[in-house]
Amino acid sequence: MAMEKSIELINKRIREGNARVVTAEEMPGVVAELGEEGAFAEVDVVTTGTFGAMCSTGAFLNFGHSDPPIRMSQVFLNDVEAYGGVAAVDAYIGATQQSTTRGMEYGGAHVLEDFVAGKRVELRALSPGTDCYPRRELTTELILDDLNQAIMVNPRNAYQRYNAATNSTDRTLLTYMGMLLPSFGNITYSGAGVLSPISNDPSFHVIGSGVPIFLAGAPGMIIGEGTQHSPGKGFGTLMVTADMKEMSQEYLRAATMTGYGVTMYIGVGVPLPVIDLGVVRSTAVRDEDIRVNVIDYGIPSRDRPALREVSYADLKSGSIEIRGEVVKTSSLSSYRRARGVALELKRWVESGKMTLSLPTRRIDATKLVRPMRETARVPRVQDIMDRNIYSVSDGDELKEAAKRLLKGDTNHLVVLDKEGKLVGIITTYDLSKAIARPGRAKKVRDIMTTRVITTNPDEHVDIVARKLEHYNVSALPVVDPDEKVLGMLTAIDLGKLFGGRWLK
Amino acid sequence: MKLLVTFSRRKGYEPIIAKAVKETGVLIRVDRAHIDSSGGEVLIDVPEESCRLVSEKMGSLGATVKILEHPVVRDEDECVDCGACISICPREVFTFDGEWRLAMEVEKCVLCGKCIDACPHDALSQQVPG
């Protein structure tokens, strides 16, 4: 038996209405039952699907010319700014752009959803005026049908897989991975696992430029690799396009990640033609085989530490173990709707609505994403900290603390134990309070703050500024990994650096 | 069944809950309590058959009692069954059914409101006691 099937044969079967189509969720079972060769003979097309938050989404819009005509330089849709630097009456609206009047409760994603839902959207445009385009201002209300084109072009969709998120710190973090509860209180994840398009073709054998897809309910197309495409490490992405006029609100939902911002939930599915045994093998992938790291978002750095590796099967089970504790998991993407995408695509292919194509241009399956090259040196704590250390020990009398504050001309004293380790901090305010309201407090240890927020010499100044603001403190002891105090960083040090930007 | 009990500061000094337990013999579980200088708001859980008895007793002690039949409400048009609420909830109100549809056991809800903040689709809301 020939272990290759031409795309022409598959398309002939689709046109005749007798192509055999299964979803990527059903395929592992088919392969387990019939074997690879049996599955090859049985299945013509495997449909995939994913439905989740894809921030890198947007659309090119053409509004037509007004009379008198305008060359729009600033474009707002329901008060959400669109990029107007593309010709006179074209604009690109990005999903994450926030409203100038409503903040993160309404953004570009909502404008896109409102258009697809058939709602009216207000267009406001400004221009300096030219000889050929004299008009300087314009306001009108439009529905999707009024636009000449509304072409969705998403720079980065359908991530192959995505690392799960958790939080080691003592406060709730509001991130693009949703709400992360303190002390490893929960884990969030994203992606459809077994149904994920690229996870079913990680070598980009049949996924490539020109391949027809399902995008938010419309028949669309893969343009090529997506931005930040990094398939060499299992994080491939796709750039995709489709006509918004054919989209359905069911597969296009604006959302707001609380405390983070606006994003777009979107359904993407790729039908994979079973042209050879390679496609059979790659589509036999199961949730158990697709592994990701659990990342600690409590570390405010690009290279956040991985706590452990898990599979999508582990994540979908509802809980996983982190450091001996059972932690609940939450999906941010919808598996139910991912399945809906794969099933809808299956109907399209079975009914002959969509025939398939092989890539007209291959996507690189080995590429790796690079971090940003930064040419300006970012200031760190060690560049601005005060290296004079003013300290007391916890058994000292309050009077001794007062003397040292005066001597050091400072407002903060670190409290050290006999080994020189940091055990607390006291401020002029603590001392004033103890004197104004005399009570039992006699020693430094009676009034010191023991839960000290610290920094380290390598910390980025922007992170320190967030710490000062969040904990409402005015100074942070700078410590080494052994809790030995190296200096002090105050809001005043930061203020000098930023010309007062951080001082409220 | 969840009851939301509110009382003024004056009544706040009275042991309303203790009195209600003592006089009705019904075991009341306190889910949440918020009491400040102006008054108090306490969420209690009582067996369904004793709901009326407890409400009337607390009412006679000067508290206002409202039955919360749907402490958290889901807008099915907005919900996409993502499950962002599942791990946020301290009481396991939310689960997936066999079809990856979001299922809710609202009787477990203690009105902490975390799911309402965490929902990316603004699909959850708290019932305003009417």
Q: With CA atoms as reference, report the closest residue to A479 among A393, A411, A381, A402.
A: A381
Q: B2-68 with B72-126: one CATH topology? A: yes
**DSSP bridge partners of A165:** A188, A295
A247 by Cβ neighbours in 10 Å (0-12 / 13-18 / 19+) ranks as buried
Q: What is the C-alpha to C-alpha distance for residues A408 and B34, in angstroms, rounded to an integer?
A: 45
Asked if B82 lies within 8 A of A332 by C-beta distance, the reply is yes
In chain B, where the domains are located: 2-68, 72-126
Q: Which residues of A touch B (CB under 8 A)?
A: 51-53, 178-179, 181, 185-188, 253, 255-258, 263, 265, 318, 327-337, 339
Domains of chain A: 7-54+153-350 (no CATH), 64-147 (no CATH), 381-498 (3.10.580.10)
Are A230 and A303 in contact, with CB atoms under 8 Å apart?
no
The predicted-structure confidence for A91-134, as pLDDT tens digits, reads as follows 999 999 999 999 999 999 999 999 999 999 999 999 999 999 99
Q: CATH number of B2-68: 3.40.50.300, 3.10.129.10, 3.30.70.240, 3.40.50.140?
A: 3.30.70.240
The predicted-structure confidence for A332-389, as pLDDT tens digits, reads as follows 999 999 999 999 999 999 999 999 999 999 999 999 999 999 888 778 899 889 888 8
**């790729």: which residue's tokens?**
A270
Q: What pLDDT score does A374 carry?
A: 85
Query: CA of A256 to nearest chain B CA: how many angstroms apart?
Result: 5
Q: What is the C-alpha to C-alpha distance for residues A477 and A475, in angstroms, rounded to an integer?
A: 7
The kind and range of the H/E element at B118 are helix B114-118
Asked if B87 lies within 8 A of A328 by C-beta distance, the reply is yes
Are A422 and A415 in contact, with CB atoms under 8 Å apart?
yes
Mean pLDDT of all residues in A27-38: 98
Q: Could you tell me how many CB contacts below 8 A there are between chain A and chain B?
A: 73
B82 touching A (Cβ < 8 Å): yes
Mean pLDDT of all residues in A398-405: 90
Query: CA of B101 to nearest chain A CA: how many angstroms apart?
Result: 7
Higher pLDDT, B92 or A439: B92
The predicted-structure confidence for A81-90, as pLDDT tens digits, reads as follows 999 999 999 9
Residue A503's pLDDT band (cuts 50, 70, 90): very low
Q: What pLDDT score does A499 carry?
A: 58
Strands (E), chain B: 2-8, 29-35, 39-45, 64-68, 72-74, 94-96, 102-104, 124-126
Please provide the average confidence, as pLDDT, over all residues in chain A. Answer: 94
* Residues of A with active-site annotation: 132
SS3 A494: helix
Asked if A179 lies within 8 A of B84 by C-beta distance, the reply is yes
Residue B130's pLDDT band (cuts 50, 70, 90): very low
- The two tokens of residue A394 are 């916890």
The predicted-structure confidence for A481-498, as pLDDT tens digits, reads as follows 888 899 999 888 777 766
Record: fold of B72-126: Alpha-Beta Plaits (3.30.70)
Asked if A256 lies within 8 A of B114 by C-beta distance, the reply is no
The predicted-structure confidence for A194-251, as pLDDT tens digits, reads as follows 999 999 999 999 999 999 999 999 999 999 999 999 999 999 999 999 999 999 999 9
Asked if A179 lies within 8 A of B88 by C-beta distance, the reply is yes
- The two tokens of residue A291 are 């592994």
Residue A54's pLDDT band (cuts 50, 70, 90): very high
Residue A476's pLDDT band (cuts 50, 70, 90): very high
Helix/strand/coil percentages in chain B, nearest 5:
25, 30, 45
Q: What pLDDT score does A110 carry?
A: 98
Residue B59: pLDDT above 60? yes
Strands (E), A212-318: 212-215, 218-225, 238-243, 252-257, 261-269, 271-273, 291-296, 306-311
Residue A501: pLDDT above 80? no
B75 touching A (Cβ < 8 Å): no
Q: What is the C-alpha to C-alpha distance for residues A395 and A374, in angstroms, rounded to an integer?
A: 48
**């990005």: which residue's tokens?**
A94
Q: Dihedral sign, CA of A461, A465, A466, A468? A: positive
Q: With CA atoms as reference, report the closest residue to A211 among A344, A356, A44.
A: A356
- Helix A398-408 with A428-436: angle, nearest 10 deg: 140
Mean pLDDT of all residues in A134-161: 97
Are A373 and A230 in contact, with CB atoms under 8 Å apart?
no
